[in-house]
Structure formats: structure tokens, C-alpha cells
Amino acid sequence: MDLHHSSKIPDWEQIPAQQHNVWQKVANSSNGIVTPGNIITIAGAGLVLSGMNDIKQNRKFNAFSKIAVGRIADLADGYIANKTGTKSSKGEALDAAVDSVELALAIPMLVRREYLPMRTGLIYGIHKAVNGYASAKAKKNGYELHSSWSGKRAEAFRWGTIAFYALAKLSEDKFNNDSISKIFKKSAVAGEIISASLGTIASLGYLNDIHFQEKYNGINQRPVENKLES
């Protein structure tokens, strides 16, 4: 998985204006707001939010189809931004913010409707709280954090775990098929273990980077290579 980290200088500002492609011209004229990656990020978020509303309306198939497509969009936005030369800190920040909001809204609803175990929701909630603290601390002190290898993969496995738990419940409720449900549950538990492990590694890494910067600020600073996955 390519993390597609952006630098402080947007891609299009690192080359002469006469060499800009059409997307870079649009990005430059819109101050980095209108880019292919941002469009995909917002469209994906819209699908996920619409899917959550479908869950409230008990339209289960529509709900999880939309959420699945919305999450696939999250995997595609960084790739598209990289391919079109439109990566920027704004796009990266938007992607991270959308990830956080989606999970923050999804977890309580899925736990309440018994699509996700309370235990899983608490683990993911703690990780998000720690990451949010690290993000706020970094911003306050002028540090820059980027998504780590473990952080990005933890996010992917979180949503995979959520999907398998949801499929397990749907198999029980809609199709009354316990054997398939057990397979989905086992897959969900495996995903939960992986996501919890990677998420813990990521969160500890972010906290360690903050500690390093606070301890050595102004002495032997090094660039921090971790900006939160969510």
C-alpha cells in the first residue's frame, strides 16, 4: 500500500506552470481544493453517510453496498492524487478527517444495532481518541505527523472487520444461515486481532514521535514521518 504522503509544497508547485497537466491547472487555480483525489474522497464520504442512513431505515443491502463502495473510494483517492500529480497537505488532511468522522459516526451506530461487538467498538474508539490527542498536540506545537505503515493498514483492517461482523449478522438475521455466519465471525475476529495490533503500534508510534519532538525540539530535530491514519 502506497501511503502517498504529501510534502508541505503541493505537487503542482514543484514544477513549472507551463508543465502542468489539466488537473494541476485546476488544483492550482482552486488553491488545492478541487483535485481528483478530493473529489473521490468527498464522493466516498457521501456514500458512506448515505449507507449509514440506510442502516437507520433498515435498508441493509443498500446500506452495506454503499459503505463498501465508499470505503473503496478511500483506497483510490491517494492513488489517483499521486497519478495526477495533485497530492497536497490539504488533500491528505481532508482524507484523514473524513476517515475519522466516518468511523466516529459508524462505531456507535453499529454497536447499538449489534452489527459490531461493544468490545471492538471500545478498542477502535480508544485508538481514535489517542490518535486525535496526538494530532491536536502536534498541531499545537507546530509538528507534522504523517500516516504510518501500520496506521494505514490498521484503518483498512478496521473496516474489513466491520464488514465481516455485519455480514455475519446479516447471514443470521436475513438468511438464517448459521454456518456461513460462523465463517464471517471467524474472519471478523481475525481482522479485529490484526487491526487492534496494528492500531496499537500506530498509536504508540504517534505518541513516541510527539515525545521525541517535545524532548529534542530546537536541538536535533528530525522530520516526523507519521500523520494520523484518522
33, three cell numbers: 481544493
| Average pLDDT of every residue of the chain | 86
Per-residue pLDDT tens over the stretch 74-111: 889 889 999 999 999 889 889 888 988 999 999 999 99
By CB atoms closer than 10 A (0-12, 13-18, 19+), residue 41 is: buried
Mean pLDDT of 196-205: 96
Which helix H or strand E contains 56, and what residues bound it?
helix 36-56
Number of helices followed by number of strands (H, E) in the chain: 7, 0
72, three cell numbers: 473503496
Q: How far apart are CA 24 and CA 159, in angstroms?
A: 32
Per-residue pLDDT tens over the stretch 118-144: 999 999 999 999 998 998 888 888 777
Taking CA atoms, 61 is separated from 51, 58, 97, 229, in Å, by 9, 9, 27, 28
For 54: left if phi > 0, alpha if psi spans -120 to 50, otherwise beta; the answer is alpha
The residues spanned by each domain of the chain are 1-96, 114-230
The pTM score is 0.79
